[in-house]
Structure 1
Amino acid sequence: MPNILILGGGAAGLAAGLAAAQSAPRAQVVVLERSPRPGKKLLATGNGRCNLDNTGIAPERYFTADPAALLPLLDAVNAADPLGWFRALGLYTRTDEAGRIYPYSNQAADVLALLEHHLAQHHVQLRTGCTVRTLSQSRSGYAVQFETAEGSTEILRADAVICAMGGAAGPQFGTDGFGTRFAAQCGGRTEPLYPCLTALQCAKPNKTLAGIRAKAAASLLDGSRVLAAETGEVQFTDYGLSGICIMQLSGLLAPGRSPKAPAVELDLFPALDEAALTALFRSHAAQTAGDSPAGFWLGLLNRKLGCAVWSAAGLRDGNAPAVLTAGQWQKLAHTAKHWRFEGLTPCGWKQAQVTGGGLSLREVDAHFQFQGCPGLYFVGETLDCAGSCGGFNLHWAFGSGIAAGRDAARRVQRQRKK
């Protein structure tokens, strides 16, 4: 019988399995993964480059229903030092100008291969094609019933079980929200799941702008109140808005906590205030000989994008830049800095990078052990904690897995001494 059983072979599960085996070399550790291969979602992170951490880890970079409960858990993740742990395994990394940390090879496959290598070195048994069905508690520990790759039903008993079965984001990688449902079956209180770090659909998208990208400051508003702002590249799509800064804002659209009238405002010229932009537009019109809106945007914005701003300002195609009034120039500048998009709906699970919601953070202790169930742990995306883009989610996944794996190992070693 395995001493420690890991449910899920993603980032958190693999880290938990290896950390447990490192901390208790004589323990039997088994990882059950539903997919034919472990780490499928890990391979896709960072566009295949594996953005595994960030130099700017802070509580405000995470979305949760309970920020106060997050603090001790994030402290535990930081104390686990996932980046230092990887470097001790032999991973050499690079850090970009935004603080995002990648393997030096820029290959997510190398991170997975390194984990698999060390799992094998520590004799961790990795079983794929296994679908977990039930978990039950007994005096001697836990019993997990699952369906094997061959279709038979099997039961494994263990002293400790670490649940790392992920959330609902990215069903193409084999996830379906079972981890959270499993936590609820175990009696845990959960927060509603929602697609997080995803593009936004708009009520009236301008399909002609699809594919155009522009640097901008994007603000999420509830009516006229600004809730959050991000700066970066915005991508216009045939359904609405995308890009990292838009995806960051989507994390605030949680069920029960999202604004009643959400809207996004784009500032296409964040370096200038409205008065300076008005003056720029007037002087630019004199410098460019164009007598049409399309010609006016030469050197300022993509022409299609500029013409869309022109129209949003209430100006017609027939309005020549040379004859605009002072009021019209001011209105154009105001629109370019406050271009509003309403009727926002997050795109679905397939486009979401991570799952918002999950098992309430107060249901686990500082070692990620489920309250009232010694030896049962929940880690990674099963919990109500979703990070911003840029390595924050893998920091949480790896760190929570390491912390739980080490604690499970300590528990098993204590039981052996009794």
Structure 2
Amino acid sequence: MAGVELLDIVKRFKNETVLDGVTLTVAEGETLVLFGPSGAGKTVLLRLIAGVVEPDGGTVRLDGRDMRDVPPELRNIGMAFQNFALFPHMNAFDNIASPLAARRKTAERVSEGVERVARLLKIDQVLTHRPRALSNGQKQRTALARALAASPSLLLLDDPLRNVDAKLRFEMRLELPRLLAAEGATTLYVTQDYKEAMALADRIAVMFRGRIAQLGSPAEIYLSPASLEIARLFGDPAINVLDVTPEQDSQGPFVRLSRLRAPIDPGLHHAVGKDCSLGLRPEAIRFVGGETTGAIPVTIEAETPLNEKIVTLVTTARGREILVSRPSGEPGPSQGQAHIAVDSAHALLFDRRTGLRIEPSRDDADVRGAAA
């Protein structure tokens, strides 16, 4: 059964359309991340699902039930916000207990529910503290515990790690998947941090301007972005983008880098002659010896060690800048002249006019024709 079904959702504020025909299905028990820049409509979509905001068009179904005219308190939803939103006059225990108390649970059930999630989130030692006595990390965990306390069937998490330090954010990226799996709730998680999205999601819905631009697994979004706009949002360092016009010879389609032939996917033969943008992830480029077939001469401009990887800025003979990434400890040149090679299997091609990715054709006849 689908945990959440959104059918053609529209929301306007005055003359601005914030959500423009959003259709989305989230499976029961799935963690779906809503990812995109500020203003894409992510938070409004969460509030609409929660019942705090009413749609101007479309249907919201939770566990198969139409939510029209169902108030927020009857939707069995837990929600956590980026600003924590804790009651300042209550201690951590009472903050966590508030959804249970609102459902008129017995004192024993309230205590059991609070202690269960507090242990799970490792804040059982601060339950008597008020928010002003808690660190940001403890506040964040308390807000999450409150969302989980009543064992909701649906969790709505609105960028809950945004206001915590980098160390805690890293730790919670590791802990949250385990926590969410243990709870078994359907989860919608909003973030603008691509690493967070990649770490937490079963699937990612990338949003732009009130619409879902792409929906897929983290690997699908990263390796096969639907557009250059999406490709630029994922990756650190960012994807290299070079203007090219694909050509073709007896060996198949290729692009020219520093006037040298760089092969691309044989299925991209239908892009020959078009104005395109070539997207190259820094890790899809490697340093090679000058005698290697297809080696492209470059000049090393700078090298930056980044703990687990080393990022090198190089320029081609035509002055185009390219970032190359390799794992720390892997040998490579750090200055002067060098050569690089491109992994054509991971080269992405985009239509320069529309920005949309040009997908390889997998028609056997077409591929045979391209190689003929």
Task: Report TM bin, short chain.
Answer: under 0.3
* Higher normalized helix content (fraction of residues): 1
TM-score (norm 1): 0.19
TM-score (norm 2): 0.21
* Higher normalized strand content (fraction of residues): 2
Larger RCO, structure (CA 8 Å, separation 6 or more)? 1
